[in-house]
Amino acid sequence: MKSSVGRGALILIISGLVCKFFGALFRLPLTNILGIEGIGIFQMIMSVYALLSAIVTSGVSSALSKLISTARASGEMEKARKLYALAIKFALILALVLGFIILFLSGSISSLQGNSQNKIIYMLFVLLLPLSALIGVIRGAMQGYEDMTPTAISQIIEQVAKFAFGLIFAYIFISGGATKGVFGAFLGITFSELLALIYLFFSAQKRISPFKARSTKSVQPIFFKAVLPLTLSYSISPFASTVESLFFVTLLGRAGFESEIATKLYGLQTGVVGAILNFPLIISMSIAVALLPKISFLNSRNDHDGQRMVIANSFSAMWFLLVPLVFGIISIAKDLYAIIYPSLMQDNLVLAWQLTIISGIGVLLSAIMQFLVSILQAKGYFNYSLAFNLIGGIFRIALVFILALIPSINIFALPIASIVNASIVCVCSLIKLGKVVKVSFTEFFLPLISSVVMHLSLLILQNAVSGIGGIVLCVIVGAFIYFICALPLCMQYLRMLISNIKGRVT
């Protein structure tokens, strides 16, 4: 990877691993506190929050990263300040409007989800959404300067605070029932967002201040040209998740499942399997975030060779790390679930493992999708990004409504629909980007072949070992087998790392 992309991605990956560690520490006891039904409620509310958070943060953050990077390339620092000030105003107003709309509709949304008591949780959105909006804007501005450190540190603060306050409040409120326990968890999340925002505000003031910007009218056309399609584009996936959370229990009910069983199945896929399989996506998301401003910078200077080199190196590094992680998780998933969810997996272990296998394919495709969409946005193809995500999202929702009604498929409708969604976006993006994205045959297939060999070896090893010690042994042996099988690439990346270190020293 180009050094700035590599450093930025490495910072985000490290912070992502720390955040995932605390996220797991949060999710595991939270699941045991709330139970499968409670975690199902938590995921239903979280899917709505993810949609609204994407609307107020993701599009603005990515647009700001791209536009500030482009302004830097041409030396227009006043323009960068104006864009930052405008983004704050836009995101804050949008967040407040959406927060009060949700407050007004909280009863209807809760009834649609099958639990009218959820209304109390949605009231917190009036505070949560403005906090999320401001966090997204500041992170986007810093990423436009290719400075990933504020994003990384704020993410760690956010996760540590969520772990502390979320679990404490969930434990305190759970005596009033599952819904009250979920309310406590979201109250803790609100506190964590506040602390992260305080850090980001003072950190950003050292580099760029919105208070020094003059009138923002001159930057409004380019800002809204980027923000509107990007906001819609980033909203499609969480919108699909929200639709699933609103209707999936009802769909399974029509397929013959009781409401309680349907909620547990939804919680199993989204709260248990989804939680562990989101771990590898830290790598792809970190690289995509670091890649966007770099490609924007090179694209504004018409450096096509530089773009191709950065894209190829970034994808190869992402794929080299991502594929074995996914196969490794699939390999140890059954034993891992039995240990971390002992009371919840008595009747669900085989089902959870089957969901992990299918969802793992979706994770690999989703990682490629994130990477390609980031390039589309960096090159200014905002409308194409929106169109491709919209097509994929329509197919995803349609498949969920069709497949969930088939009793033999039931919960598997969710990962299958996600696979189709990611596949459509990937194919469309590759057609549009054409020769900009080039990856060598070896760098794509060697990690895949090595990971399959690792997986098959671990299946044999698992017959002889068990428990936590067995999982640790599988991780060590799996890593050794993968690196031996992929030795040519290991040596290639080692040489690149040494070269970068020497270059920085000299």
Average pLDDT, integer, range 446-472? 89
Average predicted confidence (pLDDT) for the chain: 83
- 51 closest CA partner among 194, 187, 241: 241
d(CA 446, CA 490): 11
DSSP state of 477: H
322 three-class SS: helix
Average pLDDT, integer, range 99-124? 80
Q: What is the torsion angle, in degrees rounded to the nearest 10, for the CA atoms of residue 307, residue 309, residue 314 and residue 316?
A: 140
More confident residue, 243 or 503: 243
pLDDT at position 353 over 90: no
Residue 174 is part of which domain span? 3-439
Are both 420 and 493 inside the same structural domain?
Answer: no
pLDDT at position 501 over 60: no
Are both 379 and 491 inside the same structural domain?
Answer: no
Average pLDDT, integer, range 15-37? 72
Of the ranges 19-28, 164-173, 497-506, which is most confident?
Answer: 164-173
Quick one: what percent of the chain has pLDDT higher than 90? 24
Q: Are 322 and 364 in contact (CB under 8 A)?
A: yes
Are both 402 and 478 inside the same structural domain?
Answer: no
**Count of Cβ atoms closer than 10 Å to residue 107 Cβ:** 13
Which of 439, 454, 472 is the last residue before a domain boundary? 439
Are both 357 and 492 inside the same structural domain?
Answer: no
d(CA 306, CA 265): 47
How is residue 44 written in tokens?
């239903």
More confident residue, 440 or 444: 444
Q: What is the pLDDT of residue 401?
A: 92
pLDDT band of residue 364 (cuts 50, 70, 90) is very high
Which of 391, 418, 439 is the last residue before a domain boundary? 439
Average pLDDT, integer, range 325-351? 79
Q: Are 28 and 166 in contact (CB under 8 A)?
A: no
CB within 8 Å of 217: residues ≥ 6 apart:
none
d(CA 163, CA 28): 11
pLDDT band of residue 362 (cuts 50, 70, 90) is very high
pLDDT at position 497 over 90: no
Q: Are 191 and 124 in contact (CB under 8 A)?
A: no
CA distances, 429 to each of 315, 356, 420, 437 (Å)? 15, 26, 14, 10
Are both 481 and 397 inside the same structural domain?
Answer: no
Which of 397, 417, 439 is the last residue before a domain boundary? 439
pLDDT band of residue 1 (cuts 50, 70, 90) is very low
Are both 467 and 399 inside the same structural domain?
Answer: no
pLDDT band of residue 477 (cuts 50, 70, 90) is very high
d(CA 32, CA 29): 5
Average pLDDT, integer, range 236-252? 82
Are both 248 and 377 inside the same structural domain?
Answer: yes
More confident residue, 11 or 379: 379
Are both 332 and 473 inside the same structural domain?
Answer: no
d(CA 124, CA 186): 8
Of the ranges 144-153, 282-291, 475-484, which is most confident?
Answer: 475-484
Q: Are 107 and 113 in contact (CB under 8 A)?
A: no
Q: What is the pLDDT of residue 325?
A: 92
pLDDT band of residue 304 (cuts 50, 70, 90) is confident
Residue carrying the six token digits 């074995």: 324
CB within 8 Å of 462: residues ≥ 6 apart:
331, 332, 335, 470, 474
Where do the H-state alpha helices sit in 176-269? Answer: 178-204, 220-254, 259-267
Are both 283 and 387 inside the same structural domain?
Answer: yes
d(CA 420, CA 505): 46
Q: What is the pLDDT of residue 399?
A: 94
pLDDT at position 489 over 50: yes
Q: What is the pLDDT of residues 55-68, one digit of tens each?
A: 888 888 888 888 88
Instruction: Give the number of domains in the chain.
Output: 2
pLDDT at position 289 over 70: yes
Average pLDDT, integer, range 157-178? 85
Q: What is the pLDDT of residue 9?
A: 61
pLDDT band of residue 500 (cuts 50, 70, 90) is low
Average pLDDT, integer, range 106-112? 78
pLDDT at position 52 over 50: yes
d(CA 361, CA 365): 6
Q: What is the pLDDT of residue 7?
A: 63
Average pLDDT, integer, range 199-227? 77
Are both 76 and 20 inside the same structural domain?
Answer: yes
DSSP state of 176: G
Residue carrying the six token digits 């409308």: 383
DSSP state of 506: -
- 165 closest CA partner among 188, 195, 183, 186: 188
CB within 8 Å of 325: residues ≥ 6 apart:
279, 280, 283
d(CA 349, CA 250): 24
Are both 208 and 272 inside the same structural domain?
Answer: yes
pLDDT at position 134 over 60: yes
Are both 494 and 387 inside the same structural domain?
Answer: no
